Amino acid sequence: MANSAGCSSRARGVLAGVLVLAAVAVSGCGAGAGDAGQGPGAAVRARAARSGRVSVVYEDKALRPKERQVVALIRNSGVLERAAGWVGGALVLPHDLVVKVTAAVPPGVTDAVTQPDGRTIFIPPAFLVEVEDALADVVKGVDRPAPFPASQYNTGDLTVLSTEFIFGHELGHALQRQLLLANLGLEEDAADGFASFYTVNEVGPGPSLAAAMLFDEIARKEGRLTLENLASDHPVTQQRVFTFLCYLEGSDPGTYRKPLVDGGYLPKSRAPLCPQAWAMLDYGWWTQLQPHFSGAFRARGDGEQKKAHARLIAETQALAERIDELRTGG
């Protein structure tokens, strides 16, 4: 995560295939024939008796030594199980969701990917190796960003934390597809938003900061933007870095404004918009998920949704009171 006031001048290369996070979007995927013509509430009630399970499976066959090492790192950290456990405990899913850390992936898959029906997430070990290698370059070539703790500024911890964020992205795809959630923009933006929503609320700042460093490194190695970069269904890589940081800063400006904004990692032109942006994201995801809360989670989830609604109103009013000043650069 380079300081926005001045990026590293290290040589750029192409990190082929890393973090495309591609997921083929299929219209209406995950819908059963019986759902046609019914409102969301009716579909949820019909599915309630058959809540899907979320499981994580590690397939260790035919792994190279380096792949075996990074898979062991992720497995021992428990980050995939933690996120899967949250989804499985908080929500009622219509189908089982299986997360496979495996080299046996569909043809053409090189990155973490969610199948169109939202029932399987593939995480190729070779992809985890590429993430680990990119973060090793960060540790070797980039001074530790001030907001990130020195004790975790090592390849292993960064790999675990960024993988947790990446997995959050894929869980976002799975929820959108299984629950047929309505998107008001690109699905990839929404999946990034779920990664921020889940990790900031349930884990803390580590995954967002680690993912920002990883994506910043990927952006350096991509070099000059191409037509394909600009035409992708994913936002431009460097833009994603600032969005991750914006949501984090907006979630708690009292804690993160000084290290992120005053420290030069999040531009001062973006920062004033971040509290309202986070409030909208937080309220949006709690509201989208609310019809699908499990019985055990409902009291907490309803309470979080109400708090998020109140905060959105307050942050929107605060932004309205400052908007003229912001527009004139005051």
pLDDT of residue 20: 37
pLDDT of residue 238: 76
Give the residue, 231 or 4, on which the prediction is more confident. 231
- Is the pLDDT reported for residue 324 higher than 90? no
- Residue whose C-alpha is closest to residue 132's, from 99, 158, 168, 107: 158
Interval 181-240: pLDDT, tens = 988 878 999 999 999 999 999 999 999 999 999 999 998 877 676 767 665 556 667 789
- Is the pLDDT reported for residue 32 higher than 50? no
Spatial distance between the Cα atoms of 241 and 220, rounded to a whole number of angstroms: 12
pLDDT of residue 14: 30
- Residue whose C-alpha is closest to residue 291's, from 33, 12, 36, 39: 39
Spatial distance between the Cα atoms of 144 and 221, rounded to a whole number of angstroms: 19
- Given phi > 0 = left and psi -120 to 50 = alpha, else beta, which region is 282? alpha
pLDDT of residue 62: 81
Side chain identity at residue 149, one-letter code: P
Side chain identity at residue 130, one-letter code: E
**Region of poorest pLDDT, from 15-19, 69-73, 146-150, 276-280:** 15-19
Helix %, strand %, coil % of the chain (to 5): 60, 5, 35
Mean pLDDT value across residues 311-330: 89
pLDDT of residue 6: 40
Interval 104-145: pLDDT, tens = 999 999 999 999 999 999 999 999 999 999 999 999 999 999
**DSSP 8-state code for residue 116:** T
Mean pLDDT value across residues 74-101: 98
The pTM is what? Answer: 0.83
